[in-house]
Structure 1
Amino acid sequence: MNMRNKRAGSMAAVLSAILLLAGCSGGGDSKGASAGFHETGLPIVDKPISLTIAGTYDERTGTNWNELETIKEINEGTNVQIKWNLSPGTDWATKRNLIIASGDLPDVLLELSSSQVVTGGADGMFIPLEELIGKYAPNLTDFLNKYPEVRQAITAPDGHIYSLPMANMSEYKHADGNTLWVNKEWLKKAGLEMPRTTEELTKALEAFKTMDMDGDGNPNNEIPLTGVFGDSQYGFGYLFGSFNTIDETFIVQDDKVVFVRATEEFKNTVKYLHSLYEKGLIDPDSMTQNSTQLIAKVSSGKKASVGAFFAWSADQITNADYRWDYGSPMIPLAGPDGSQITPRNNLQMTPGMFVITKVNPYPEATMRWVDRAYEPEMSMKLREGPNRLKKLADGTYDTIPNPDNYTAGEWKVKETPYNDFVYGFSQEMRDKQILPKAEPGQLDPDFDEWYEALVPYMKPWVYPNIMFTDAQYKSIEQYQTDIKTYTDKMEAQWIAKGGIDEEWNTYLETLNKMGLSDYTKVYQDGYDTNKANLAK
């Protein structure tokens, strides 16, 4: 072979290598082009493509998402076909960890922690999305422009966006999702008013325990109070406000980050819970049961068997025969020193709801497909359920009540993945809803009146929804598992057996040895950096 032919052969080899590398890295361009990708309009691609999406699901909705009215509408006319790989909520944290660790990735992962998003983005497991959003997601772009705090929440410290959010920006969502429901019919039978203090709650629960509230002749089979220990929605967190704190790992008071479980306020809350447990007023199952078991407990039977429980809404989970026996949720109870607070929560948001992985061959088409979920009316359907909405001539939306064979909760999630998928629900869309009215004299957490009633008691102590650096997440991981396991164990032990006063100093010493000061400093640094960035 002469030199000219050798050079030509070498150039051909180089060209082939370049083309091969181009096809391997970011393969979305070449494969998207071969599928006939369109930047606007429908179909998104000329030739059908398939995407695998792994996530979790609401048990009331089920796993057959392609048959849901909302997903059918998102898919319609796109030529994008979805293969859903969905796990129960109780298994998802373990399942997603295994997926990430194995490297056997789907095209899209749903519902990740912010630390997983940042770490996966830094490692190249998840692709940056900001350019794709700007080019192919006009609905999401409009939403982020309207709510810059959402953009901030999904922007990693390296400046990239690796995930898309589920965000409900309705003002009423500042209200805490954990509140107390007390059976007003049982109170009437006991000759008591709705409790306003922790002392009055104790008296009500004592009556529930000793009197035959369900009228079956057995005064010993009623449950005064039940909950789910450690659960943000069904747990005991509501009662922390009566002792001048909130049930969070860290709170912020006067720009200082505080670890709640090392405070006197936490200790006093636990002592009160123990006083209830010691008297048999707290269901012992509360320390081990899950939310599914709690819902079964408060909804089984033809008559109510539970006097009080913690939840977002009673009518959505209790039996229809006694749905309204629980009246209204409780305004924060006044504690022994008069404390009566509730957190002003961050608005409902899952920043890491949707990531596109490095193996996805169609990132552009994926972004165009998912942007359909952020169209305002579609976001409303995903949030509220399309079967519950009737659009009127004036552009407002009436609410279709649940049929008798559905609970309100089942009806709401019948045709939508609900909070296990992306949407961008705005206050503007909320204002277009004609919401059902609560029963006379009652409050309901789904209505703005409940939020307005809580505003005077709200404290802005909740740690902001921010992303840390990869290094900070690694520091957090170094401490949080052991510290959380230890504090959970001690809290449960003290509620059931007592002894917090005697063991408190040893408990604090143990936390310090476990690195509590360094753990807290990571959160303080993250808070300070975030505050400085907001001021720019």
Structure 2
Amino acid sequence: MKRATTISAVSGAVVILMAGCSSEKQATAKTPADFHETGLPIVDNPITLTIAGNFDDRTGAKWNELETFKKINEGTNVQINWNLTPGTDWKTKRNLIIASDDLPDVLLDLTTSQVVTGGADGMFIPLEDMIEKYAPNLKNFLTKYPEVRQAITAPDGHIYSLPLANMSEYKHADGNTLWINKEWLKKIGMEMPKTTEELLKVLKAFKEKDMDGDGNPNNEIPLTGVYGDSQYGFGNLFGSFNTLDRQFIVKDDKVQFVRGTEEFKNAIKYLHSLYELGLIDPDSFTQNSTQHIAKISAGKKASVGAFFAWSADQITNASFRWDYGSPMVPLVGPTGAQVTAYNNLQMTPGMFTITKVNKHPEATMRWVDRAYEPEMSLMLREGPNRLKKLDNGTYDIIENPSNFTAGEWKVKETPYNSFVYGFSEEMRKKQNLPKAEPGQLDPDFDEWYEALKPYMKHWIFPNIMFTDEQYKQIERYQTDIKKYTDKTEAQWIAKGGIDEEWDNYLKTLDKMGLKDFIKVYQDGYDTNKKNLAKK
């Protein structure tokens, strides 16, 4: 999670010029007379900030009514006009906002590319001086976790965005896990599968028998997911073929484009074998995560044998919530591979940017710093309705009422992962977390992280910021190559033919500039590694 700093001579001159202009603007900006550097109110006369971002359907868009924001806003004289878009539409909406230049005071949840480019173009203002002067909570967090500061620092040396950062160790575990209905396993007299071959046999038995007892053996779904989704997709199975379902991974300091490797090829052949037998839900290629969750939780009895998700108990129907037992450690593949990712910790570097139209940047910084106060970050992360503070400074977890799912309860009073917070391992340890039941694991427990450790590989590409020029090169190749490989991968899973088409596929990628695409990532990785060595 460090930054890349290699810049060509020409682009470097431009960046230096931009940095100089930005620093000058920052130094000469006039602070409003009614602004207070410390204490409350932040400003004597009320101000309104317009903030655009996205929301979780379970939370809704009325953020000023959430308990978290009531506490953040209290006594500040800062009022927020939220311009929020459903999460599924945010990518399109934020692109339109940036392209139109009709900016709000603050933009939430941007890509690192948008942050670096917007910062270099003057769309977003530099924040490092204001962090130092007006954001003691964030400053303390960045001092404690210098890797977060590195991740939000652009190659020109400026900070243009504030992060969502969860530094809990357990977050190194992959969020894409496989869950299998243990009650169905009992009915077919089979054990929890430990290999890819055993999984195929289990799913085949699920398909052939009347698992829900309704007299129709053909209406159960053996395995479902959301193709291409990092949490609900089929990526978990790639580890059985000695790779990860990522665009780029790093093995022995060499960047690999996964979809051009033999390991990828073998993973796709296995997925095709499942699909060919009717074991993969055809809707997996068209449904979104909301439809996926609805399908898993529908009815009074489970109709799905296995699926991919983070926590089964948070998305399944209460009447069969615990039928899925525990998530599985990686399956052993045909050659003995049993791999999962040692992930970068959860971070969104571009979660909060202050735009050039903002007339109150100092007040904005002081307001948002309230979210980084440790207890408030805990509330934003875990939900204030779920936490009961005890006299010893720890927190009991309040279980969800019967009229809420665990997921709905968690996001009832917080925007959760749609706004900034700085959550530390220290704050996690202050929670009196429930222990896993004997024989059961859950990704929200540290025990799950410990169980996965033996299989974790440090192959994930680091969370870095590229230069503006490198982002332009990435954009040049990204869209066409991803579109082409998405299409061919889906076709190969559904129809087969990967062996016959493989050589021509690689030639096509070569013509599309794959070698240059890989080089951009290799250069970024090498620069990042050199910078780390200097620390």
Do both proteins adopt the same fold according to a TM-score greater than 0.5, normalized to the shorter chain? yes
CA–CA separation in structure 2 for the residues paired with 1:420 and 1:241: 29
2:14 corresponding residue in structure 1: none
2:511 aligned partner: 513
Cα distance in 2 for residues equivalent to 1:528 and 1:357: 32
Matches within 5 A, 1:126-525: 126-525=124-523
Aligned residue number for residue 55 of structure 1: 53
3-state SS in 2 of match to 1:301: coil
Cα displacement (A) at 1:440:
2.6
Equivalent-residue separation in structure 1 for 2:417 and 2:217 (angstroms): 40
CA distance in 2, matches of 1:480, 1:62: 33
Task: Answer yes or no: is the 8 Å Cα contact 1:26–1:358 preserved in 2.
Answer: no
Secondary structure at 2:312's aligned position in 1? coil
Distance 1:407 1:510 in 2: 47
* Shift >4 Å, 4+ stretches: 25-30
Are 2:47 and 2:79, in contact at CA under 8 Å, matched by a contact in 1? yes
1:33 matched to 2:32: yes
Question: Contact 1:70–1:381 at 8 Å: present in 2 too?
Answer: yes
Report the CA distance between 1:534 and its aligned residue: 1.0
1:528 and 2:516 are equivalent in the alignment: no
Q: CA deviation at 1:90?
A: 1.0
- AA of the residue aligned to 2:35: F
Structure 1 unaligned regions, length at least 5: 1-24
Q: 8 Å contact 1:179–1:311 — kept in the other structure?
A: yes
Scaled by the length of structure 1, what TM-score is found?
0.94
Q: Percent identity?
A: 81
- Name 1:100's counterpart in structure 2: 98
Deviations 1:320-375 (A, max 9, x none): 00000000001000000110000000000000000000000000000000000000
Could you list the per-position Cα deviations for residues 442-491 of structure 1 after superposition, in whole angstroms to 9, with x for gaps in the alignment?
00000000000000000000000000000000000000000000000000
Give, in whole Å, the separation in 1 of the partners of 2:206 and 2:165. 40
Mapped contact 2:26–2:126 kept (Cα < 8 A): no
Q: Secondary structure at the match of 1:74?
A: helix
For each residue in 1:415-434, what CA deviation from the matched residue of structure 2 results, as whole angstroms up to 9, or x when unmatched? 00000000000000011110
Amino acid in the other structure paired with 2:91? A
Report the Cα distance in structure 1 between the residues aligned to 2:193 and 2:402, rounded to whole angstroms: 32
Q: CA deviation at 1:29?
A: 4.7
Larger radius of gyration: 1
Quick one: distance in 2 between partners of 1:276 and 1:424? Answer: 42
The aligned length equals 510
- AA of the residue aligned to 1:130: E
Deviation track 1:477-528 (CA, whole Å, cap 9, x = no partner) reads 0000000000000000000000000000000000000000000000000001
Matched residue of 1:517: which SS? helix
Return the letter of the residue paired with 2:159: I
Tell me the distance in 1 between the aligned counterparts of 2:406 and 2:115. 34
Deviation per CA, 1:136-194, whole angstroms, max 9, x where unpaired?
A: 00000000000000000000000000000000000000000000000000000000000
2-side partners of 1:375 and 1:447: how far apart? 24
TM-score normalized with structure 2 length? 0.94
Q: Which amino acid aligns with 1:406?
A: F
In structure 2, C-alpha distance between the alignment counterparts of 1:161 and 1:531, rounded to whole Å:
20
In structure 2, distance between residues paired with 1:126 and 1:38: 23
Q: Are 1:223 and 1:306, in contact at CA under 8 Å, matched by a contact in 2? A: yes
Give the aligned CA root-mean-square deviation in angstroms.
Answer: 1.0
SS of aligned partner of 2:314: coil
Counterpart code for 1:114 = T
Deviation digits for residues 25-47 of structure 1 (CA, Å, limit 9, x no counterpart) = 779954x514x100000000000
**Secondary structure of residue in 2 paired with 1:33:** coil
Contact 1:182–1:308, Cα closer than 8 Å, also in 2: yes
Distance 2:479 2:140 in 1: 38
- Quick one: distance in 2 between partners of 1:340 and 1:457? 6
- Specify the code of the residue in structure 2 equivalent to 1:393: D
> In 2, Cα distance between the equivalents of 1:428 and 1:265?
39
Counterpart Cα distance in 1 of 2:250 and 2:494: 29
Q: Secondary structure at the match of 2:451?
A: helix
Q: Give yes or no for contact 1:27–1:361 (8 Å, CA) kept in 2.
A: no
**Quick one: distance in 1 between partners of 2:185 and 2:307?**
14
* 1:535 Cα deviation from its structure 2 partner: 1.2
- C-alpha separation in 2, matches of 1:436 and 1:383: 17
Could you say which residue in structure 1 is the equivalent of 2:11? none
Q: Render the CA deviation track for 1:371-410: whole Å, top value 9, x for unaligned.
A: 0000000000000000001111111111000000000000
**Do the aligned residues in 1 keep the contact of 2:104 with 2:358 (CA within 8 Å)?**
yes
